[in-house]
A and B are shown apart, each in its own frame.
Chain A
Amino acid sequence: MPIPEHRSDSGRSPTEFTFDLSLYRLSAIQKAAYRFTGPFRVELDRVTESQVRVKLVPHPGNSPSVDPNTLPNEVLDQELRETVADETRGVRELLLAQAFSNLPLTDPVGENADYRDDPLKIAEIRSPSH
C-alpha cells in the first residue's frame, strides 16, 4: 500500500496525514485516530470524495509521548483488524453459542447417536490391503 503523505516538524507542530478511501476504510481511519486522542487533539476532515485528512495537534505545553508518525501503521493495523472481524464474525458467534449453550453444535451425531449404531463408522476395521 502507498505511504500516506504527511508533513511534520519535530515535537510541537501538528502532523497531518492523508488517506485514500479506496485503500482504507473510514472506520479503520477513525479507530486508529481515536488511539491518539490522549496526547493529541485529533481533527478529521474529508478533503475530497475519496480522501480523508487526519491532523494530530499536540496539546499545548506537553511534548507528546507518542510518536504521531505511527498513525499510518495504526491505520493499517485497524484495516487488518476489520478484515479479521469481518471474516470471523460467524465463527465468533458459533464459539460463544457453543461455549454457553448446551447445544451440540459442532458434532450433533457424536453427541446424540448410540455407539452401537456407529453412524460415523468409527469402528470400521481396515483390512491390510487398504
Chain B
Amino acid sequence: MSDMRQVAVALHSRLSMTRDAEPQVMRIATDSSCPSRKCTALVLPSLTVDVPSGFAAYFVRDSKPEALPGVSLLEPSYSLPSALSYLDEGDIIRLNPRYGHLWVMYRKASKANSMLLTEQCNSWCVMCSQPPVATDDRWLVDAWKSAIPLMATDTVELGITGGEPTLLGDAFLDLLATCKQHLPQTGLHVLSNGRLFNYLSLAQQVARVDHPDLVIGISLYSDIAWQHDFIVQSPGAFDQTIRGLLNLARCGVRIELRVVIHSLSVPRLVGLAAFIARNLPFVEHVALMGLEPIGFARANLASLWVDPVDYHVELESAVSELAANSMNVSIYNHQLCVLPPTLWAFARQSISDWKNVYLPICEGCAVRERCGGFFHSAARSHSRAISPIAHDGHLVPS
C-alpha cells in the first residue's frame, strides 16, 4: 500500500489538486446514464458541460490540469492521472481529497483483486514482501467494507491479505460475512500465518460464517519448529500454526499451505513435503513459491536468495513426495526456463497482473505464453539461467 514505485500497473496516484473533504470509496462509471450516483465517480473522455449532476466525483481524461476551471458545474472534478488511464466501468477507487490521493482498490477486469486489511502483523518473516507497520490502520477495513457492495457480483475470486488479517478479530469475521452477503458467488482466498487459529474459538467463528467458497492460505517453512520460528522471527509460532491448522481442519475450513523457497527453507524442503503429506493430509493445495524480492526479502536478499537452478533436486523431490500422496501441488513465481521440464506441469502463472513483467530476453521464447514471468521487482535479481526456450523444447544458448 505504501509502495508508490513504478510497477507494471499503477494502483496509486496523486492528483494535481486537493480538496477539504472526507475520503470516499467510489465505483467508476463511464456511462453517464448510470442510475446510482451517490457512490459513483464518472469518468469523462473530455471536458463537457452536458453532464448530469449528482455523482460523487468526476474524472476527466485527456485534459490538462490547468484547463479545468477552479470551480465548475461538475463538482468535485479532477483530471485523471495518465498512470490510471486504464480505469474502466466497475473499477473501485478510494479518493482521499485532502492528500490528493487516489487508490485503485479493485479492477473489474483483473483476476488478482486483493483486499489488504491491515499492515500490522504478529510475525516478522525474514523474507516478508509486505513488511509490518505498527500504525493503527483500521480505516482500511472500513474502506473495504464500503467497497465490497460496489464490486461486480460475478467477480471470481478475491484475496484477503495483510499484514495478518486475523489480527482484526471480529472485524475480520465481519468482513467475511459482508463478502458472503454481497458477493455470494465470489471465492475468498485469505493469506494468514495461521497462528491465531491456535484458539479453537476463532476457527469455530470462521466456520460459523459458513462462507460458500473460502480457503485460508497458511504459511509453513520447515518441519523443524525452531527453524520455522526463526524464519518468522517468533518463538512458538510453529506450534501455534500447527494447532491452528488442526483446529481449522476440525471445523471443516478449507486450507492451503504456502512455502516460500529460500536459503533457510531449501535444506528442509523435502522433509517439509513429507511432513505435510503425513501430518496435514487434509490441506487441499500446497504452493511452493519463489521469493518476491521486495520489503524484508530485499533487505536480506544476499543471505536468502538461492538460484532455482541450484535447488532442482530438492524441488523435484518435494513435489514428487506430495504428488505421490495425491496432494495438489503448484509451483509459483518460477519461470519455466529455470525449472526442470518434469516440473513444468506444476508451474502456475501466479504473479498478480499489476506486478507481472517479462524480460527483453523473453522475446521469442516458445513458451512465453505459458510462463508466469517475473515480479516487477525481480528485474535485478533473477536466476542466472534465464534463457528463451526454442520450439524443440531446448534452452537457446545465450
Contact = CB atoms under 8 A, between A and B. Distances in A.
Q: Is there direct touching of A and B in the complex, by C-beta distance under 8 Å? A: yes
Interface of A: 107, 110-116, 118, 120, 122-127, 130
A118 B198 CA distance: 10
9 contacts: A107-B243, A110-B200, A115-B201, A118-B199, A122-B199, A122-B240, A125-B167, A127-B134, A130-B124
B198 A122 contact: yes
Given A113-B201, A115-B201, A125 B170 contact: no
B132 interface: yes
Contact of B199 (A113, A127, A130): A113
Contacts of A120: 198-199, 240
Contact of A107 (B167, B196, B198): B198
Contacts of A110: 198-200, 243, 247
B195 interface: yes
A116 B172 CA distance: 12
B170 A124 contact: no
Interface of B: 120-122, 124, 132, 134, 167, 169-170, 195-196, 198-202, 205, 233-234, 240, 243, 247
A123 B171 CA distance: 15
B243 A125 contact: no
B169 A115 contact: yes
A124 B198 contact: no
Given A110-B247, A120-B199, A126-B124, 12 more contacts: A107-B243, A110-B198, A110-B243, A114-B199, A115-B196, A115-B202, A118-B199, A122-B195, A122-B196, A125-B134, A125-B167, A130-B124
Contacts of A114: 199, 201
A21 B350 CA distance: 66
Nearest to A119: B199
Contacts of A111: 200
Contact of A116 (B169, B198, B240): B169
Contacts of B121: 125
A126 B134 CA distance: 8
Contacts of A127: 134
B169 A125 contact: no
Contacts of A116: 169-170
A125 B198 contact: no
Nearest to A124: B122
A102 to B, nearest CB: 11
Contacts of A115: 169, 196, 199, 201-202, 205
Contacts of B195: 122
A123 B201 contact: no
Please indicate which of the listed interface residues A110, A114, A120 has the most CB atoms of chain B within 10 Å of its own CB: A110
B196 A125 contact: no
Nearest to A110: B198
Contacts of B243: 107, 110
A126 B234 CA distance: 9
Contacts of B200: 110-112
B295 to A, nearest CB: 13
Contacts of A118: 196, 199
A24 to B, nearest CB: 36
A116 to B, nearest CB: 6
A80 B195 CA distance: 39
A125 B164 CA distance: 10
A48 B236 CA distance: 55
A31 B122 CA distance: 53
Contacts of B120: 125
Q: Which 8 A-B pairs have the closest CB atoms?
A: A115-B199, A115-B202, A110-B198, A122-B195, A115-B201, A111-B200, A114-B201, A123-B122
A37 B242 CA distance: 47
A122 B170 contact: no
